Amino acid sequence: MRHAVRLAAMAAMVAISAAWAVPGSGALASARAPGGTTGPAGVPAQPAECCAATGADVPKVGGDYGDQDYSSLAQITTRNVRYLRGAWLTRLGSSGTSAQESTPVAVGGDLYVQTSQGDVIAVNGATGKVIWRYASGLPGTERGVAVGNGTVYSALGGEHVVALSQRTGALIWQAQVGTPGQDTAANFSQTPWTLYYRGLVLVGTENGGSQGMRGHLYALRAADGSVAWSFAATAAPGQPGGDTWAGGSYLHGGGDAWMAPAIDPRLGLIYLTLANPEPREQGGVRAGDNLYTNSLVALRWNTGKLVWHFQSVHHDLWDYDNEMSPVIASVRYRSGVRKIVVYGSKTGWLYYLNAATGKPALPVREKKVPILAAQATSPTQPIPAGDPLVPTCPQRTGPSRPVPGYIAGCEFTPYQSQAVLVAPGRGGGGNWAPLSFDQQTGLVYDPASEEDTAFTDGQPYGQPTFWAPAGEFRGGVLDAVNPATNTIVWQRRTTYPQANGDGILTTAGGLLFEGSPGGLFVARSAATGAELWTWQAGSGISTTPVTYSVRGRQYVAVLACANSAPCNLWALRLDGTVRQARAPVQPPHRVLVTAPTVTGSAAGDTVVLGRVWDATTGSPGSTENLGSAIAMAPAVMTVPAGTKVTFENPAGNVSDHCARSFFDPASFTIGPLAPGSSGSFTFVKPGTYFYNDCAGYPWNTGEIIVR
């Protein structure tokens, strides 16, 4: 049985088509709440047992056990933030082949951070001097260490976990988790985070979403790394939800644990989000809702026993794994104050659940959605009352406008062999970037993205299965949401997608801090979203900022290392003396074609359709290719302005092909061309022109750069 409670929607539920109409009229009413925190009228002080605001120390990613990412420090305020400057800058090497995603933690005036190369580094929080560095040689996706009992705990590649001396970095113990027969090869699986709690080190496993692994949460004894208990992400026969998997598909059914859980010590519960089921695009082999994937599960902290679960996406086909760290907060509803858990949402929705029972605090209705029997799709999906973070259907303008050639559908549109473009996509909505709950404003802040995703099952041509189509636009928003009503109080558009790690920090100084893929570090008014200060970090930011204090002085730190530029670990303070960095090469606003760039003269100013460029011979391949996303030979070509480019479907091909440009001022359509035919277009104006194969192979995309 589904745990999602089928409640009637609010009569005044905001329509999807009106998602961009931002409610709210300006300033928020405020009152002094009990316990010394300030909040809007009726918002209670946050309970100290899970959600006390951080101060001088931030010993875990997310700040407190409720993952509110809210600090009580108020030396830096909306009035003086313009004087914030660099206190120090420490370079930690390079990002390698992937972005650094580790948020620093701060204890006793020092910072602790890890890298995707498997290094753990301690840095003096006042000077930036490296105190020690531990090189594990176990690279992987790393999102932050945990500190407790004088020990630094770090999860590493290959499902390894280490305990290091906080003072010296010396290895205390090393362990490797895993379940035989349910994990992939060690080099494909990782433990991306650690969380220390009451003598236990919690670690989750992930494999990137498609390696045929069964995700787990492991609780290790902090003393020696031995396993105290574990929880499997997919329900087995005999467990609640065990009947939601066909046959033995649960054994390799996915459920990665990408982000650390929240904990409520008073209730004795751990709240963990679990990722999508596997195989991602083959829903027919795993018929059922596939619990506990795409769910928030509440577990007993000392045994791992399941207490309740809530599934936000049934039988996921779209990589809608709402895997952000959940947030615990106390919110006043019509029925009174409730302690809730907030989580979401690549689907564009946030869910608000009673922390004790898992029942929705706001109405959730099971909405009918299109079904496809071959993919065993669910006939309904749970949709909460209120506002989505981003549009949940393709739009006529803006980043969510669909690339032509695809079937364009709203969220939960099923697919099989025919390419379907869905909004929001797998990188859209709110991804894994940490939320923040501000105890003064009473608002939840969620960085979100507008990105469409195309899906097929890869048949019959061996075409891509899920991808962001080349040429599509991407954008982002920052939403401030009232958790009592799930309505957007204010919304600010951002230059780039904002959901891939650039999380939110709020402070008692009335500030909201957030990074950007373009390297810009921004401070806003938490009440209004107004931009108050910016700082160029010199590299893209895929981490959450942290604020701490040393000898009574407040610092704000952020790790900027989202591209191949050096990793910049910044600490800033009022009246600092270090200047900001030069801006890095900015990310493109459109998805680029991933292929070698060839000059037009080297290709005879000709693009051969349905063929892949052979870099070895410097010419089009000899056979037709219907599955490749770059079967334009060459797929990326540069020409001078005024060049006439010929598009040719060679006689050796069997299928018709064409070239149709999109989203560019000078549009063209060549074809469809039968084998042995050609057409041409003269590129007069400099710029970049994207086109795809409009003869039924829209994933095949080319790019002409006119200089």
3-state helix, strand, coil in the chain (%, to 5): 5, 40, 55
Q: In 3-state terms, what secondary structure has residue 244?
A: helix
Could you give the CA distance from residue 606 to residue 595 in angstroms, rounded to a whole number? 16
Whether 622 is covered by a domain: the verdict is: yes
DSSP state string for 613-625: EETTTTEE-SS--
Predicted confidence at residue 207, as pLDDT, reads 77
Whether 196 is covered by a domain: the verdict is: no
Partner residues linked to 504 by β-bridges: 514
Predicted confidence at residue 263, as pLDDT, reads 97
Segments forming the whole domain that contains residue 662: 597-706
Say how many domains are in the chain.
1
CB-based contacts of 637, cutoff 8 Å, min separation 6: 597, 598, 599, 600, 603, 607, 645, 702, 703, 704, 705
275: nearest Cα among 349, 238, 325, 327? 325
Q: In 3-state terms, what secondary structure has residue 53?
A: coil
Could you give the CA distance from residue 445 to residue 464 in angstroms, rounded to a whole number? 34
Predicted confidence at residue 188, as pLDDT, reads 55
Predicted confidence at residue 185, as pLDDT, reads 52
Please list the alpha-helical segments (H only) found in 247-335. Answer: none
Q: How many other CB atoms are found less than 10 A from the CB of residue 208?
A: 14
Whether 308 is covered by a domain: the verdict is: no
What are 40-46's contacts with CB under 8 Å, separation 24+?
Answer: 40/441, 40/442, 42/332, 43/330, 43/331, 43/332, 43/442, 44/330, 44/332, 44/337, 45/330, 45/439, 46/329, 46/330, 46/439
Whether 650 is covered by a domain: the verdict is: yes
Q: In 3-state terms, what secondary structure has residue 373?
A: helix
Predicted confidence at residue 46, as pLDDT, reads 40
Whether 654 is covered by a domain: the verdict is: yes
Q: In 3-state terms, what secondary structure has residue 476?
A: strand
Could you give the CA distance from residue 281 to residue 300 in angstroms, rounded to a whole number? 33
Whether 612 is covered by a domain: the verdict is: yes
pTM for the whole structure? 0.91
pLDDT profile of the chain (707 residues), mean per 10 = 34 29 29 32 47 94 96 98 98 73 95 92 98 92 91 92 97 91 63 92 79 89 97 95 96 92 96 94 96 97 97 96 92 92 94 97 97 98 97 93 96 96 90 94 96 95 96 95 98 90 94 95 98 96 96 97 81 97 92 97 98 97 97 98 98 98 92 98 96 97 97
Predicted confidence at residue 501, as pLDDT, reads 80
151: nearest Cα among 200, 103, 193? 200
Q: In 3-state terms, what secondary structure has residue 11?
A: coil
Could you give the CA distance from residue 540 to residue 519 in angstroms, rounded to a whole number? 4
CATH number, position 634: 2.60.40.420
Whether 464 is covered by a domain: the verdict is: no
Whether 668 is covered by a domain: the verdict is: yes
Predicted confidence at residue 502, as pLDDT, reads 86
